[in-house]
Amino acid sequence: MDTSLLDYELPPELIAQSPIEPRDASRLLVYRTAQGLIEHRRFCELPDVLGGELAVVNDSRVVPGRIRLERRSGGLVEVLLVERLDGDGLWEGLTRPSRRLRVGERLGPVELIEPLGGGRWVLRLEGEPAGEAPLPPYIHQQLQDESRYQTVYAREAGSAAAPTAGLHFTPDLLRRVDHVTVTLHIGLDTFRPVTSSRLEDHVIHGERYSVEPDAWARVEGSDRVLAVGTSSVRVLETAARTQELRGRTTLFVTPGFEFRRVDALVTNFHLPRSTLLALVMAFAGIDVIRELYALAIAEKYRFYSFGDAMLVL
């Protein structure tokens, strides 16, 4: 697939800079595949739109992993924790700037252990992460309440970015939707732009996932399954293929993919040239998604992490 098909023009003012209040007041663009019908709804209406699907949500919690530090020379360094590794206090992290950093250097609670290239390091962190929420670079406003970059059902800390489709749920709305939880700890590679000219040449690194046996039994026994977010898609389709309920997934969902356990998808509007957009195109069709994105732009939907959502049934 030519990755230029993942391109689109977005007016900067449609990039949501802050979350809407309340969470479920966000807009919901509904596309009914069988009829080709489009509806403009609010996310709080989700239970009324669904037709008995079992929703699957990703309960990973975002690590407060953006840590601002100072070198002995006085230079400032930002460390972004990406993934906890095996070993006492070991993490993979991304440093900026990184050119002059050296093995063994101490930056406050952080010790640099091994360079991995591209600004990535194996590092040791004293204690638990106590930095800031790692907001995406396209959000320029400071978040007043960092809990708004967590879902209301977030549980085990491990993600470097939020599973944003779930940010729209309030506790009350979640109670009104039949659901189970899975866990996938989201890494930064999920959001890394596709730079190759052919989508198939892009490489996705692994992310840790787990599914409880009771939850998987419900998924297997359901007539229709709604994945809440692209991370939930990757868990469901990995488990459906491997029958392994925990491990690492490198599943790269691109157009032409055969979906075995996802029948409906709710997701935010994603960045151009992203693997997330490729996944949504794989689910609904390249031309359909390009048309729906053009419509969302014309209707001034809000895009990206704090933006509105789309439901494909």
In a domain, 130, yes or no: no
Between the alpha carbon of residue 77 and those of residues 119, 137, 277, the distances in Å are 11, 16, 32
Q: Which of 130-134, 228-232, 265-269 has the lowest mean pLDDT?
A: 130-134
Residues 21 and 86 in one domain: no
Dihedral angle of Cα 10, 14, 17, 21, to the nearest 10 degrees: -140
In a domain, 21, yes or no: yes
Residues 251 and 284 in one domain: yes
Residue 223: both structure tokens together: 């007539």
Q: Give the 3-state secondary structure of residue 280.
A: helix
Q: Other C-beta atoms within 10 Å of 69: how many?
A: 16
pLDDT at 99: 85
Residues 267 and 172 in one domain: yes
Residues 253 and 266 in one domain: yes
In a domain, 7, yes or no: yes
pLDDT at 192: 79
Residues 142 and 121 in one domain: no
Pairing of strands 120-125, 110-117: antiparallel
Residues 54 and 36 in one domain: yes
Residues 54 and 97 in one domain: no
Residues 140 and 186 in one domain: yes
**Per-residue pLDDT tens digits for 196-233:** 999 989 988 899 999 999 999 999 999 999 999 999 99
Task: Identify the helix (H) or strand (E) that includes residue 235.
Answer: helix 230-242
- Residue 283's nearest CA partner among 165, 173, 154, 174 is 165
Q: Give the 3-state secondary structure of residue 215.
A: helix
Task: Identify the helix (H) or strand (E) that includes residue 159.
Answer: strand 157-159
Residues 101 and 168 in one domain: no
Amino acid at 84: R
For residue 32, is pLDDT > 70? yes
**Per-residue pLDDT tens digits for 35-90:** 999 999 999 999 999 999 999 999 999 999 999 999 988 899 999 999 999 888 99
In a domain, 106, yes or no: yes
For residue 310, is pLDDT > 70? yes
pLDDT at 138: 94
Start-to-end C-alpha separation, the chain: 24
Between the alpha carbon of residue 310 and those of residues 6, 100, 133, 226, 293, the distances in Å are 17, 44, 25, 12, 10
pLDDT confidence tier of residue 193, bands split at 50, 70 and 90: confident
pLDDT at 217: 98
pLDDT confidence tier of residue 191, bands split at 50, 70 and 90: low
Contacts of 89 (CB under 8 A, 6+ apart): 124, 125, 126, 127
Q: Which domain holds residue 145?
A: 3-62+135-312
Number of independent structural domains in the chain: 2
Mean pLDDT rounded to a whole number for the chain: 95
Q: Taking residues 106-133, what's their average pLDDT? A: 94
For tokens 């990973």, the residue is 60
Q: Taking residues 289-295, what's their average pLDDT? A: 98
Residues 155 and 250 in one domain: yes
Q: Taking residues 144-169, what's their average pLDDT? A: 96
Residues 149 and 119 in one domain: no
Between the alpha carbon of residue 184 and those of residues 66, 103, 151, 203, 219, the distances in Å are 20, 31, 13, 18, 16
CA angle centred on 3, ends 266 and 7, rounded to 5°? 65
Instruction: State the Cα–Cα distance between residues 30 and 219, nearest whole angstrom.
Output: 23
Q: Other C-beta atoms within 10 Å of 174: how many?
A: 17
> Considering 79, 105, 125, which residue would you say is the last residue of a domain?
125
**Per-residue pLDDT tens digits for 225-245:** 999 999 999 999 999 999 999
